[in-house]
Structure formats: C-alpha cells, structure tokens
Amino acid sequence: MMELTSIRWDIILGGFGLFLIGINFMGDGLKAVAGDKLRDYIDKYTTNPFSALLIGIAITIVMQSSSASTAITIGLVRAGLMNLEQAAGIVMGANIGTTVTSLLISLDIDSFVLYFVFVGAMIICFGKKQKIKSTGYIILGFGLIFFGLNSMGDELAAIKDVPAFMSFAEAMSTNPFLSLLAGTIMTGAVQASAATIGVVQKMYEAGALTFSAVLPFVFGANIGTT
C-alpha cells in the first residue's frame, strides 16, 4: 500500500499545468486563425436548431471552451440577436464540441509528442506573420496537452494503491451521485471540462477508476462547465 506522501505531487501538478497551458495555447491559436469570423457564422447559420447545434460544436472546437461558447451565446440573447431556441441548440452543441479534446487525448501518439512541441515552438519563434505564429500555438498546444498527460501518467497510476483514494474511488463506483457531484464541482472550479475529463481518462486507463465511476463524472463535468 502506498501513502499519499509517496506520490510525486509535483509531477502531477506540473503535468496538469502543462496540460492546461496546452489547451489554452491550442484554443488561442484556433481563435486567432478563425475567431474573427465566428460571430458572422453565428448570425448566419443559426436559423434552425440543427444548424445551431452544429455551430455550437464548431465554436467550442475552435475556442476549446464550452463555457466561452455559452458566454457568447448569452451575450447575443441579451442583445436580442438570438432567440432562446437558437441559444439552446448552440449550448447543446457546445457540450458535444468539448469532447473533441477528450477524443484527441485517446489517440496513441506518445512517441511523437515532443516533435509537436518542437515544431510549434519553432513556428512561434521564427514565423513572420501572426496567422503563422497562431498555427504554431495550435501545434505547440497540441503537443503540450499530450506531454502534460504523459508526465502525470505514472503517478496517476500509482494513486490507485493509496488507501484514501481507493475508498473514494469505491464510493464513486457505488454512488453515481457522488461521482456526478465530483465532476460538477471540479469542472466548475477550473472552468474546463476537457481538463477534468482528460485527467479522469488517464486515471481510467491506469485502472485507478472504474467505468461506473467515470461515466457519471463525465456527465457532471458537462454540467459544471455551464
């Protein structure tokens, strides 16, 4: 049995920090490349619920934040530029779009991660135009997301042998409401469901959490981000 003091929390926290920076870099880069036209697309293509759903997905993929997508939508509703039916479609799409980062995390590209970091950094340092530099931030962010998660990997796997965590994980497995609440609170705190879901994915891969604990947590994460 391991103790909490035996876990390298500096590696876990540092890896999580790199993961968050990666999400922000990728989101900022995507916004810089495509963000200028977002509001035009919203106005033009949200004439029916289905198109509003697709726009919600697209905006969240670009901004890497369903919270930001929801905030923009609320602003447009308050300004009278969008009705509630359109807004509901965008918010639903936003919660679907935020899963794209989780899908990226599931890719098996560990051996190429540092190449993404290198290429992204070179483009940022030596790119002449802002859009080229923004592309570099997208690539660097993509690399940092995986590098951060990989850094946390071994330590997250070790947590499953800590008695205190074992008790909490068992409680989450048998009590879906507890898992849902944990997902809601954690995501509400960091305002990024992709971040909390990403960490939980890694813990599930390491065998630290069961599927019955992870599923309600993911639902809670989508609640917390709103």
> Is there a domain that residue 3 lies in?
no
Please name which of 6, 43, 28, 8 lies closest in space to residue 154, comparing C-alpha atoms.
8
> Is there a domain that residue 45 lies in?
yes
pLDDT of residue 65: 63
185: Cβ contacts below 8 Å, ≥ 6 apart: 220, 224
**CA 154 vs CA 40, 136, 151, 205, 212: distances in Å:** 45, 29, 7, 11, 22
C-alpha 206/C-alpha 12 separation (Å) is 14
pLDDT in tens, the chain (226 residues): 556 667 777 888 888 888 888 888 887 887 777 665 666 666 676 777 788 888 788 777 766 666 666 666 766 676 666 777 778 888 888 777 767 766 766 666 677 888 999 999 999 999 888 889 989 998 998 888 888 877 877 677 777 777 777 788 888 888 889 889 988 888 777 666 777 777 787 788 777 788 888 888 888 887 776 6
> Is there a domain that residue 8 lies in?
no
pLDDT of residue 223: 77
> Is there a domain that residue 4 lies in?
no
pLDDT of residue 133: 92
> Is there a domain that residue 195 lies in?
yes
pLDDT of residue 63: 63
pLDDT of residue 191: 64
Here the tokens at position 14 are 């540092």
pTM equals: 0.66
* Three-state SS at 194: helix
C-alpha 85/C-alpha 128 separation (Å) is 43
> Is there a domain that residue 10 lies in?
no
pLDDT of residue 226: 64
Contact 67, 102 (CB under 8 A): no
Here the tokens at position 19 are 């993961």
Domain hosting residue 201, numbered range = 15-224
> Is there a domain that residue 32 lies in?
yes
pLDDT of residue 71: 64
Instruction: Label residue 78 left, alpha or beta by phi (over 0 means left) and psi (-120 to 50 means alpha).
Output: alpha
> Is there a domain that residue 46 lies in?
yes
**CA 221 vs CA 113, 114, 198: distances in Å:** 26, 29, 11
Q: Which residue has the tokens 């849902």?
A: 180
Contact 182, 217 (CB under 8 A): yes
Q: How many domains are there within the chain?
A: 1
**Can you give the C-alpha Rg of the chain in angstroms?**
19
CA atoms within 13 A on the CB side of 83: 5
C-alpha 108/C-alpha 104 separation (Å) is 9
